[in-house]
Amino acid sequence: MSRKKINKTEYGLDVIDINSKGLGVAKSKKGVVYFIKNTVPGDIVDIHAYKKRKGHFEAEPIKWLKRSSQRTKPTCEHFGLCGGCKLQHFSYDGQLNSKEKGVINNLKHIGKLKINKSLPIVGAENPFYYRNKMEFSFSNKRWLTTDEIKEDAIIEHRGLGFHKPGMWDKVVDINKCHLQANPSNEIRNAIRSYALEKKLAFFDHRQQSGFLRTLMIRNTLAGEIMVLIQFYKEDKEKRELLLNFIQNKFPEIISLMYCINSKGNDSIYDQKIYCHSGNEFITEYLDKLQFRITPKSFYQTNPKQAKILYDVAKSFAQLKSTDIVYDLYTGTGTIALYLAKYCAKVIGIESVSEAIDSAKLNAEINMIKNASFELGDMKDCFNDNFISRYGKADVVITDPPRNGMHKDVIKQLLKLEPKKIVYISCNSSTQARDLEFMKSKYEVVMSQAVDMFPQTHHVENIVLLKLNSNNE
């Protein structure tokens, strides 16, 4: 993307929207688009544009002519630095309205779709403390504020927090995060204090050296807590002292794990995980179902909203006891297992072996006999042979990653012609693109967004497709 530093002033711009980076969107009378820092819809501002990009200018306000009624004071002391909750200055009602409008616009303009019925977005009861998984990075080069640099004092450069946007080697040292319930903050701050006191080496992202690399904290609605420390190298004495400190300081942690990862990236999915104390998993409950969560497990990060999401999917599907259901991109089988009691059988497909193993285990734990899971790349295994083995689906649930469904998967769905398709998406742009390919045979009956990620631009959207009567 082209970028060019400029020096340009515009006066009296109305901020009409907010983009995916939390920047206000405005258009001049000449149709020039500006992305403006620290603004929300309803603001009227004079601006200084400092950078030109393809299709828009980046700008900052120099004078407020009117402050929006949707503007609110950010809750977090780190707002604007860590980059995690970019919409805290935007009222939650405003966030919901913007997300709902964005989803509908994408479906209509990208997908060129006619939506028979659009249901109101479902917001979160509490737009804070909703995440069940947080990952923090240790760094020997934390981000320093301008005030800190100006201070005539010895500065501690080590920090534990989130990577500064655009700076992969620096982290914003986090004192209090409002995304995960306590004792998450207490655990992180205690570990940092201990590490600083004992002079443990924080990770150097450029030199690929150090001792402490990452911290993961997972919890459940029932209050179970898992902590995983990722070390860059083994030092048994220091490792055991730290882990024993955590165990003694926070006896409520029921799963204390660690791994030694000396490779170039900090992904744990190809690493051996060790249990220092407690269980090797924590348990989440969804209605009467239980799901074992391991360090490598995928589970919806907002469990309260996940229940709502699955209920909307179930309502859209209107399953009958005789229905065969395919669950594409099943992950750990959460949706498949949740829907199993409402249909004859459900078959999940997933490309990650650990996820399939978890799905099969959770089916066994919950004594669900009519759920099967198959490992494989969707575009390769979702074929005629698969259909002949399991039977033709009456209903298909699909919940693909952000880049949407592969074109071969769409072709197979069109060939299969299930009566109903429930398409769940975390990216309504790629969802709209996929649905455009399918509108020759399917109509969009209903659409509803569910806000899984308050304070961010992300939103889940569910669409019900029904086979056109001339194709039945």
CATH of the domain at 10: 2.40.50.140
Whether residues 378 and 361 fall in one domain: yes
Q: Which residues form the domain of 35?
A: 3-66
- Residue 368: how many other CB atoms lie within 10 Å: 17
Domain boundary among 257, 286, 315: 286
Whether residues 165 and 205 fall in one domain: yes
Cis peptide before 183 (omega within 30 of 0): yes
DSSP element (H, E) containing 360: helix 353-365
- 305 vs 126: CA distance, rounded Å: 10
Name the average pLDDT for the chain: 93
Whether residues 62 and 119 fall in one domain: no
- Residue 147: how many other CB atoms lie within 10 Å: 7
pLDDT category of residue 471 using cuts at 50, 70 and 90: low
Whether residues 56 and 175 fall in one domain: no
Residues 6+ away with beta carbon under 8 Å from 454: 92, 95, 123, 124, 127, 128, 130
Whether residues 235 and 97 fall in one domain: no
- pTM, to two decimals: 0.91
Q: Which strands make up the sheet holding 345-350, listed edge to edge? A: 115-122, 442-450, 460-467, 420-425, 395-398, 324-328, 345-350, 371-375
**Which residues are catalytic, by number?**
426
pLDDT in tens, 391-435: 999 999 999 999 999 999 999 999 999 999 999 999 999 999 999
User: Mean pLDDT, to the nearest integer, of 166-186?
Assistant: 93
Whether the pLDDT of residue 78 is over 80: the answer is: yes
pLDDT in tens, 331-387: 889 999 999 999 999 999 998 888 899 999 999 999 999 999 999 888 888 888 989
Whether residues 319 and 461 fall in one domain: yes
Establish if 404 belongs to a structural domain.
Answer: yes
Whether residues 12 and 150 fall in one domain: no
pLDDT for the residue 1: 44
pLDDT category of residue 291 using cuts at 50, 70 and 90: very high
Establish if 86 belongs to a structural domain.
Answer: no
Whether residues 314 and 459 fall in one domain: yes
- 239 vs 245: CA distance, rounded Å: 10
pLDDT for the residue 81: 87
pLDDT for the residue 472: 59
pLDDT in tens, 42-75: 999 999 999 998 889 999 999 999 999 999 999 9
- Residue 433: how many other CB atoms lie within 10 Å: 17
First to last CA, the chain: 46
Establish if 421 belongs to a structural domain.
Answer: yes
Establish if 72 belongs to a structural domain.
Answer: no
Percentage with pLDDT > 70 across the chain: 98
Whether residues 385 and 423 fall in one domain: yes
Establish if 295 belongs to a structural domain.
Answer: no
- 471 vs 419: CA distance, rounded Å: 10
- 253 vs 168: CA distance, rounded Å: 30
